[in-house]
Every structure is written in C-alpha cells, then in structure tokens.
Chain A
Amino acid sequence: MQKMHSKQQQWMPFLFLAPAVILFSVYVIFPIAQSIWLSFFEWDGLGAKTFVGFGNYIELFSDGQFWTALVNNIYWLIFFMLAPPIGLMLALFLNQKVMGIRFVKAMFFFPFVISQVVVGLVFSWFYDPSFGLFNKAIELFGFQPIAVLSDENWVTFGIIVAGLWPQIAYCMILYLTGLNNLSPDQIEAARLDGAHGWKMLRHVILPQLKPATFIAIVVTVIGALRSFDLVATMTAGGPFGSSSVLAYFMYEQSIFNYRAGYGAAIATILFLIMDIYIAYFLWRMLKSEKA
C-alpha cells in the first residue's frame, strides 16, 4: 500500500500539472519562440516567407515611426511612475475610520474596474476641444483651449493621464492594504520616540510598505509597456502616428499593413525591453522564496 502510494506521489503532480502546462505552452511559450523566429522573415501573413536575417531590425532602426513609438513608450514609463507616489498619497489621505469611508475608498478604486476602452471614451470626452471639461477648466485660468488629442505635442501626455487614472487607483489599493498590515508596535514605539509626520513616514512607514511598493512599481512598469487599449480607442496612434507606442505600432504593421515579419520584429524588441523587468521580478520573487 505504502509503496503504491509513493509511486502515485511521483507521477500525480505531473498529471495535475499537465493540462495547465500543455495549454500554457501552446498559447504562450511556443508563440514567443515563433514570433522571434518570424522576425527574421519578410512575410505578409499568408503567402511564402522570405528569410531576411536581421533585415527587419535594420529597417526598424531607420524607421521614424519606430523611434516615435519607442520614445512614447519611454514617456509612458517615466510618467506612469507617478502612479505609485500619488497612489500612496491617496491611501494616506483615505486611511481613516470615518463614516462612509468604505464607500469612498471603493469609489476611488472604481476606475481600475472599468474597461480601458471605456476609460478611453471617458477621456476623449473630457478632452473634447469644444465642450470638454478639460478646456472649460483651463479657460477659467485664462488659457486658450487645446485640442489635446489632435495636437502632436500634447496627445501622448493626454493619453498617459487617462492611463494614470486607473493605475493610481490600483496603486492606492495596494498601499491601503499595506497600511492595514502595519505593525502597530513599531509605530507606537516610534511615536514615543517623538517621530511623526514626514519623519515617521520616511523611516518607519515606508520601510514596512516595501512589498506594496515593489508590486506597485512592477505592475506600473508592465502597465506602461502594455499600453495599447487607450492608444487604440483614443487616437489610433494619430495624429500622423505621433501617439503610437510599440504595442500599437506592432498591431498596425501586422494587421493593417500585412507585414507580419516586421510586426514580429517590433514585438521582439518590446519583449526584450519587458524582459529586463520580468527578470528583475523573478529574481526578487525567487529570492524571497528561498529566504
């Protein structure tokens, strides 16, 4: 009995794992390899593939649209980094026990729950040059109205602000949960030592919020690099490709321009950028596993 059992113990885990591993390999792991392989071909997505070596990559580096998209991705990364600190500020602001606070917190979280397509529509509306609230507000301060989404200089920032809305909500929830799990003893001890306000936050609270900060930064970076939905719904990369990001540029090239090989090369570059963060996350995660 015991023997049969230990045998069962040997192969059972593989049986438990099999469905997930097979499906995940077919839809996630192999496609990554296939895309990288495809990036060395000129291919319209249907007909014959022609091997071009690094041709697609060489072409990318002289493609102005690629650089615009890449620079926009960098803007996304930089400005998205505002989400964790603003989320923390909101969490600190709302971390009280007054009447109705549960409802208020839930409503603050709202933007994260709704689809980015809807967020995109909401903000297109907000930015509308003739009636949008944004222009009404800046007129109050004596500025000329700006057609944010059709102005090459502003459009990317306009979309990033829309993206920050749900992202801040997400970071806020991570910090609210973190604040809930603070050690009361340490805070009391620090209070007795006369720490309060900024000093307390800096030296006692923030160190304890480190796990929340780590996750907030990871999801924010991934969110910034994944930005697609908002660009697609708000501007479709326009005007004249000025708000495109790598994710959208790739989609455009493969679906509308029938350049699957070229699209795969763009995807590969995006994947390589993302890998830096994935590797960092894995390293941290596995390190804490061992500890």
Chain B
Amino acid sequence: MFPTPIEKKSLPFNISYRVAIWIALILWLLPLIAVLLTSARSTADLNAGNYWGIPTQWMFIQNYTEVFTKTPMLRYLLNSLIITVPAVIGAVALSTLAGYALAKFKFRGRIGLFAAFIAGNFVPFQILMIPVRNLTIDMGLYDTASGLILFHIAFQTGFCTLFMRNFIIGLPDELIEAARVEGVSEWQIFRHIVLPLVRPALAALSVLIFTFIWNDYFWALVLVQSDDVRPITAGISALKGQWMASWQLISAGSIIAALPPVVLFFAMQRHFIAGLTLGATKG
C-alpha cells in the first residue's frame, strides 16, 4: 500500500490526520454547503445580508414547498425522468448487443467499427448540433421527449459499446463455444449465456450513464424549448433568470436538481466507480 499505512505512524500524527481529512472535506465542499444553508434561509435573512451565519429562522420546508408549488420544478423533475430512464435502457440494450458482436465474433472491419464507436464518443457536441437539430425538426420530434431520448441513445451507444465490448471480451470463450457445438442458436447463446454474465457490467454502466444523461444541458437547450418537456438542468437555468433575487429558491432548486444522481451514486457507489474505471483502466 502506498502511502505507508497511517497505523504505522505515531499517535499524534494519527490524530491529526484523522482531523485533517474532515477539515479538508469541509473546505472542499464549502461552496455546496453554502448553497445548502441558503436553501434554508428566510428572505429576511438574505435581505439583512446574513449569508454565512446560522439562519435566524429555518425555512427549509417552506422554501422547498414553495419551489414545488410556485414553479414548474416538479414538471422538470418528471421530464428528466421521462427522458433519462428510456434513454439509459435503450443505450445499454443496443450496446450490449453491439459489444457482444465486437468482442466475440471475428469479421472484417471489426476493429474499424470499434474505433468509430470510440472516436464518435469523444467528438464535440457542436459538430453534431445543426444536423441533429434539423433531423429532429424534420422528424417532427423537436420539443418532444422522444427527440431527446433518441439522440441520447444514439450518442451514449458509443461509450456504452466501448464499455460492454471491453467487459465481454474478458468472458471465457469456452462457454460460448460449448453451446455452439451443442447446436444452441446464436440468439439463445446471447440470451442465456452472455446476458447473465454481463449483469454486473450492466448495473455499472446504467448508473454511470444515468448521471451523464440526467446532467445533460446542451442538448436540452438545442432540442427542447417548452416547459412541458424541459429537463431539470435547462429548467433550473431558465428559472435562474426569473428569480434573480430569490437566492433561497434558486439554491433549493439546485439541490433538488442535484439530488437524484447523488442518491443513485450513494446507493450504487461500488457499481458507479467500477463503471468509471472499467471503461477507463483499459488502454
């Protein structure tokens, strides 16, 4: 282990280390703590310039209720779910199929195809913007959830295929070969042998791209314009303009927007980190 385990150091060193990590953590999250505190403040406090002290009145519940009742925040939150969940399922499904084909079949152009998926995943969004926007308008999907979902599935397929292919290539060939000799059809092999084996990867990948899609802002700006469809990222930035002075509401809204991926992250932390690094430690 590196650095040397702290247990081997002196007692005072140990104590100061244990204190230091918590101080460092508070400093690291200070901007966020400020927002959290602000979301519980009263207007009176804010007018009096009490931004950093303890709130004189805890308005936590009132502020959050106000956000949900006086703004379309609930709608935005729902929109984000309506967009994110199908997009995650779609991208993971398509890329599991594609990743399996790229990992376990030998055919010409395999490497080239794989390279195209990787490269496509890194391109700047702006190079896609005008054509994708026009395509979405032409299909009659501008300002609909489906328009965004389709794009997210297509784009995330690049990263997901890279990820699934790298996972599947590590699975033993023998199982698949044995089934082939038995005369099991290719689809059945995929369905009953490969799919159960990739379940951990599916979990890791889903958590990760849920966060990516949930946090998308650019495409929400480009493909959607009405409050009925807008996901929470675009919603909160639209609200920011309207509530210039109501910082306590903007902060409450920000906390709400950040919460779902954070909850998911804490619930599935192991998967999340496995996801980030499985696609990553390769190469």
Contacts and interface: CB of A to CB of B under 8 A. Distances in A.
A288 B124 contact: no
Given A106-B266, A117-B233, A31 B127 contact: yes
Interface stretch (B54-62, B64-72, B112-120, B196-204): B112-120
B175 interface: no
B130 interface: yes
Contacts of A196: 4
Contacts of A125: 31, 34-35, 38, 247, 251
B193 interface: no
Contact of A107 (B29, B129, B218): B29
Determine chain A's interface SS by DSSP, over half rule: helix
A247 B124 contact: yes
B215 A116 contact: yes
Contacts of A26: 135, 154
A195 B147 CA distance: 58
Nearest to A30: B131
A154 interface: no
B21 interface: yes
A212 B283 CA distance: 9
B282 interface: yes
Please indicate which of the listed interface residues B4, B31, B35, B52 has the most CB atoms of chain A within 10 Å of its own CB.
B31
Interface stretch (A17-25, A75-83, A143-151): A17-25
Interface string A79-101: 00000000000001111111111
A214 B240 CA distance: 38
B1 A123 contact: no
Given A228-B218, A288-B283, A187 B261 contact: no
A179 interface: yes
Contacts of A98: 6, 14, 17-18, 21
Residue of A31, A126, A178 most packed against chain B (CB within 10 A): A31
B51 A131 contact: yes
Contacts of B105: 9, 12-13, 16
A75 to B, nearest CB: 17
Nearest to B274: A177
A215 B127 CA distance: 23
A115 B281 contact: no
B142 interface: no
Interface string A260-272: 1001101110110
Nearest to B35: A122
Contacts of B124: 225-226, 246-247, 267, 270-271, 274
A211 B281 contact: yes
B102 A17 contact: yes
B190 A16 contact: yes
Given A23-B94, A28-B128, A182-B2, A232 B31 contact: no
Given A13-B101, A173-B273, A250-B126, A115 B215 contact: yes
B123 A215 contact: no
Nearest to B115: A282
Nearest to A177: B277
Nearest to A165: B31
B130 A264 contact: yes
Interface string A1-22: 1000100111011101101110
A99 B14 CA distance: 11
B125 A285 contact: no
**Residue among B4, B94, B117, B262 having the largest count of chain A Cβ atoms under 10 Å:** B94
A204 B107 CA distance: 41
A40 interface: no
Given A16-B98, A19-B97, A260 B122 contact: no
B168 to A, nearest CB: 11
B24 A226 contact: no
Given A26-B135, A27-B154, A228-B218, A200 B2 contact: yes
B34 A23 contact: no
A107 B25 contact: yes
Contacts of B226: none
A17 B98 contact: yes
B211 interface: yes
A17 B97 contact: yes
B157 A23 contact: yes
A113 B127 contact: no
Nearest to A20: B98
Most chain A CB inside 10 Å of its own CB: which residue of B2, B29, B101, B282:
B2
Given A16-B98, A121-B236, A211-B281, A281 B254 contact: no
Nearest to B128: A31
Contacts of A9: 105, 180, 186
B242 interface: no
Contacts of A113: 211, 258, 261-262, 265
24 contacts: A13-B102, A20-B94, A21-B113, A26-B154, A27-B128, A27-B135, A31-B128, A95-B3, A106-B269, A108-B25, A110-B29, A114-B258, A117-B234, A121-B240, A121-B250, A136-B52, A165-B31, A177-B273, A229-B218, A246-B126, A247-B126, A250-B129, A274-B122, A285-B283
